[in-house]
């Protein structure tokens, strides 16, 4: 049985001292999950003497979690509406219906539906003295059209250092997820972190969003496949 976040939060100090790998699963975004993520990141970063990254990493983790949960709930919505998300016509119709019908109340309902169907996001925090990785996996794939748009937003945001400027230049064609991706890239750049350490990796059965924060010059990114401590 899943443990309540209040109980999990009470275990954070012990977890951080005993482990360098901590993970949690959820099918919906709510206040308890937000509080747990903030408390966990704060404890890890204080332990690593890297408190300056708390606000940035919390914002990024929350954004990635929301994006993953929304993607999963959108999949379930399409299934409930009898629409094929991979079919162009069904996709266009489904997105319009989703935008019109979906609300905060429905998000909570669809969170429970996702849970019942085994659809979730898996949040993973791996850290050592040289760096930290936050990874959000949702166990549904991203369709090609959405992946293409995400890649375009990642590429375009490399040229910006201000999220408001990005929004003003792209307000006609930037949906919530696209703006969130740009926000992550810009936050990393403004903290002096290489934005290439933010990655979105797609598989036939899942989507992984990963961000890495080096603490020292000795950090070797997972992207290179050489950081055993964070693998």
The 10s digit of each residue's pLDDT in 21-47 is 888 999 988 888 899 999 999 999 999
The pLDDT tens digits of the residues spanning 69-89 come to: 989 999 999 999 999 998 989
pLDDT of residue 175: 55
The pLDDT tens digits of the residues spanning 173-189 come to: 545 557 888 889 999 99
Residue 136, helix vs strand vs coil: strand
Least confident of 100-104, 152-156, 216-220: 100-104
Count the neighbouring beta carbons within 10 Å of the beta carbon of residue 4: 11
pLDDT of residue 228: 46
pLDDT of residue 49: 94
Model confidence at 229, pLDDT cuts 50, 70, 90, reads very low
Per the DSSP assignment, residues forming a β-bridge with 127 are 132
Please give the model's pTM, rounded to 2 decimal places: 0.87
- Tell me the average pLDDT of the chain: 86
The pLDDT tens digits of the residues spanning 89-110 come to: 999 999 889 888 888 788 888 9
- 193-216 exposure pattern, b = at least 16 Cβ within 10 A, e = fewer: bebebbebebeeeebbbbbbbbbe
Per the DSSP assignment, residues forming a β-bridge with 138 are 121, 207
Residue 29, helix vs strand vs coil: coil
pLDDT of residue 162: 84
How far apart CA 165 and CA 156 sit, in angstroms, is 12
How far apart CA 96 and CA 99 sit, in angstroms, is 5
Residue 199, helix vs strand vs coil: strand
Instruction: Reply yes or no on whether the pLDDT at 142 is more than 50.
Output: yes
Write down all domains in the chain, each with its CATH number in brackets: 20-143+196-229 (3.30.565)
pLDDT of residue 150: 85
Compute CA distances 14 → 11, 19, 127, whole Å.
6, 8, 15
């Amino acid at each position: 049985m899943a443990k309540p976040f209040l109980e999990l939060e009470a275990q954070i100090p012990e977890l951080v001292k005993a482990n360098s790998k901590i993970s949690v699963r959820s099918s919906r975004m709510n206040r308890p999950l937000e509080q747990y993520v903030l408390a966990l990141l704060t404890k890890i970063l204080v332990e690593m003497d890297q408190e300056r990254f708390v606000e940035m990493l919390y914002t990024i983790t929350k954004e990635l979690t929301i994006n993953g949960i929304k993607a999963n709930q959108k999949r379930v919505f399409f299934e409930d509406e009898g629409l094929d998300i991979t079919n162009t016509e069904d996709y266009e119709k489904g997105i319009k219906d989703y935008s019109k019908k979906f609300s905060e109340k429905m998000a909570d309902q669809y969170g429970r539906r996702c849970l019942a169907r085994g659809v979730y996001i898996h949040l993973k925090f791996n850290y050592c003295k040289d760096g930290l990785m936050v990874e959000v996996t949702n166990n549904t794939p991203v369709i090609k059209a959405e992946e293409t748009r995400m890649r375009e937003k990642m590429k375009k945001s490399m040229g910006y250092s201000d999220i408001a400027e990005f929004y003003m230049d792209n307000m006609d064609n930037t949906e919530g997820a696209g703006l969130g991706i740009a926000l992550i890239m810009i936050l990393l750049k403004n903290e002096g972190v290489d934005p290439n350490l933010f990655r979105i990796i797609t598989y036939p059965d899942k989507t992984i969003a990963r961000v890495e924060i080096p603490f020292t010059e000795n950090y070797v990114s997972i992207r290179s496949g050489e950081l055993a401590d964070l693998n």
